[in-house]
């Protein structure tokens, strides 16, 4: 990440909460994200969640090697982070905020406001074998 391109970088355990630099004028706002300049990995996949349900908890998994950046491009949600030792909650409330989540980090997304769109930039293609979906397995994985 080129520090000049982010307004703010706040470290939360091994994650980073970015405030991206908007390009605003009287027509509105625009955020541009470039791999390696703004995003600290090659972006191999983009996916997004929509039609989110306020009372639902999503995620509930960790990745063995995948890195991701989460952006609530519309609406807001909370993300519970857990590295096996510490737990923290981060809110994503503005489209210029991004949360970098490294591998080996349990995450749960919840408190979605209606019509939230959660965009995810990922360092690799979808691979179910990279998921750890059982919390006890996750604790074993991070303690190895
Ligand atoms: P899931 O991992 O359950 O989503 P969440 O992270 O919110 O818990 O994914 C939902 C479904 O979508 C599941 O059947 C796997 C599939 N999926 C893909 O096919 N490709 C992808 O890139 C992702 C993230 C999920």
- DSSP letters along the chain, please? --GGGEEEEEEETTEEEEEE----BTTB------BTTTBSS---EEEEE-S--TT--EEEEEESS--EEEEEEES-EEEEEE-SS-EEEEEE-STTEEEEE-SS-EEEEE-PPTT-EEEEEESS---GGGEE--HHHHHHHHH-
pLDDT value, residue 6: 84
pLDDT of residue 5: 82
Which of 5, 45, 58, 61 is an active site residue? 61
* pLDDT for the residue 52: 92
Which atom of ligand 1 has the smallest separation from the CA of 128?
A: 15
Give CA separation, 17 vs 26, 30, 53, 125, 135, in Å: 27, 19, 24, 23, 24
> Is the per-residue pLDDT at 2 higher than 70?
no
Atom of ligand 1 nearest to the CA of 45: 22
Ligand 1 within 6 A of CB of 84: no
Q: Averaged over 121-134, what is the pLDDT?
A: 98
């Amino acid at each position: 990440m080129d520090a000049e391109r982010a307004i703010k970088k706040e470290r939360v355990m091994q994650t980073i909460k970015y405030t991206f630099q908007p390009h605003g004028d009287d027509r509105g706002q625009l955020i541009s994200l470039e791999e390696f300049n703004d995003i600290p990995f090659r972006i191999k996949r983009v996916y997004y969640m929509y039609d989110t349900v306020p009372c639902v908890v999503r995620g509930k998994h960790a990745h063995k090697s995948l890195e991701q950046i989460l952006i609530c491009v519309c609406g807001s949600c909370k993300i519970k982070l857990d590295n096996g030792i510490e737990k923290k909650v981060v809110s994503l409330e503005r489209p210029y905020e991004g949360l970098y989540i490294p591998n080996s980090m349990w995450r749960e997304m919840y408190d979605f406001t209606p019509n939230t769109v959660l965009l995810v930039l990922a360092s690799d293609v979808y691979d179910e074998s990279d998921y750890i979906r059982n919390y006890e397995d996750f604790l074993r994985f991070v303690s190895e």
